[in-house]
């Protein structure tokens, strides 16, 4: 049994989607970051950085924070969604790191300035929206000749997709990125993704297609 501490954010959804894809039994603990519950002392035990998501694997006693580390751990635990051959493995990790180092931080800034604080910092809005468009172009180019980021459906796709699911927050028209749109819709229709997306509860969000 996996204990999952999470909230309805892209980073949280990465792990709940993966757990659903794996079919692993898990128990969800909602950490309402809008009420600063991530700073509770009890949560700090499993997430020293006070960020969701975090897990405890009750089979091994392992606790982990940081969504990317959790996904690699679960992939290695189950032997799924992270290829064993060197080329496939490192391509998957390459695009996972691209999400963690680029897509997440940059689109997070887009959400902050364009969605929640529009008009307060025009320079920041332009800077981060321009970077969002660049990242979408990178993703669109990558997906031009392959179904998924590393060939097969992997943790790289599961990590990136929840950030793209907020394209409207980012003022992005998916029609401008046809390969991204095709990839986005294909993943959105996966039953495990639909279940994981709604974990731990539904809040005011962009409806899934």
DSSP per residue over 101-146, as a string?
IIIHHHHHHHIIIIIISTTS-HHHHHHHHHHHHHHHHHHHHHTTSS
Q: Identify the pLDDT of residue 204.
A: 41
Burial of 15 (0-12, 13-18, 19+ CB in 10 A): buried
CA 73 – CA 203 distance, rounded (Å)? 28
Q: Are residues 136 and 65 in the same domain?
A: no
Same domain assignment for residues 64 and 92:
no
Same-domain check for residues 38 and 116? no
Collapsed DSSP state (helix, strand, coil) of residue 165: coil
Backbone angles phi, psi at 55, to 5 degrees: -135, 160
| CA-closest candidate to residue 167, choices 157, 158, 154, 177 | 177
What's the mean pLDDT when you consider all of the chain?
Answer: 95
Q: Residue 106 pLDDT > 90, yes or no?
A: yes
Q: Are residues 11 and 67 in the same domain?
A: yes
Q: Please compute the mean of the pLDDT values over residues 87-114 and round it to a whole number.
A: 97
pTM of the prediction? 0.93
C-beta of residue 52 within 8 angstroms of C-beta of residue 6:
yes
Structural domain boundaries, residue 22: 2-81
Taking residues 177-187, what's their average pLDDT?
98
- Per-residue pLDDT tens digits for 30-67: 999 999 999 999 999 999 999 999 999 999 999 999 99
Confidence of residue 202 (pLDDT cuts 50, 70, 90): very low
pLDDT-derived band at 207 (thresholds 50, 70, 90) equals very low
Q: Please, which pLDDT band fits residue 201 given cuts at 50, 70 and 90?
A: low
**Residue 88 to residue 94: CA distance in whole angstroms:** 10
In terms of domains, do 118 and 62 share one? no
């Amino acid at each position: 049994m996996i204990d999952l501490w999470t909230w309805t954010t892209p980073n949280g959804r990465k792990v709940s989607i993966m757990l659903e894809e794996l079919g692993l039994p898990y128990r969800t603990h909602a950490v309402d970051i809008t009420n600063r519950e991530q700073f509770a002392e009890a949560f700090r035990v499993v997430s020293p950085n006070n960020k969701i998501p975090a897990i405890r694997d009750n089979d091994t006693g392992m606790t982990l924070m940081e969504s990317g580390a959790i996904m690699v751990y679960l992939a290695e635990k189950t032997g799924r969604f992270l290829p064993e051959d060197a080329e496939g493995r490192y391509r998957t990790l390459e695009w996972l790191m691209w999400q963690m180092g680029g897509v997440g931080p940059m689109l997070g800034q887009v959400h902050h300035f364009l969605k929640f604080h529009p008009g307060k910092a025009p320079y920041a809005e332009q800077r981060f929206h321009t970077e969002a468009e660049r990242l979408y172009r990178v993703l669109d180019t990558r997906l031009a000749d392959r179904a998924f980021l590393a060939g097969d459906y992997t943790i790289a796709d599961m990590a990136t997709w929840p950030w793209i699911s907020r394209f409207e927050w980012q003022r992005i028209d998916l029609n401008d990125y046809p390969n991204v749109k095709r990839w986005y819709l294909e993943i959105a229709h996966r039953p495990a993704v639909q279940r994981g997306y709604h974990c731990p509860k539904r809040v005011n969000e962009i409806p899934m297609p």
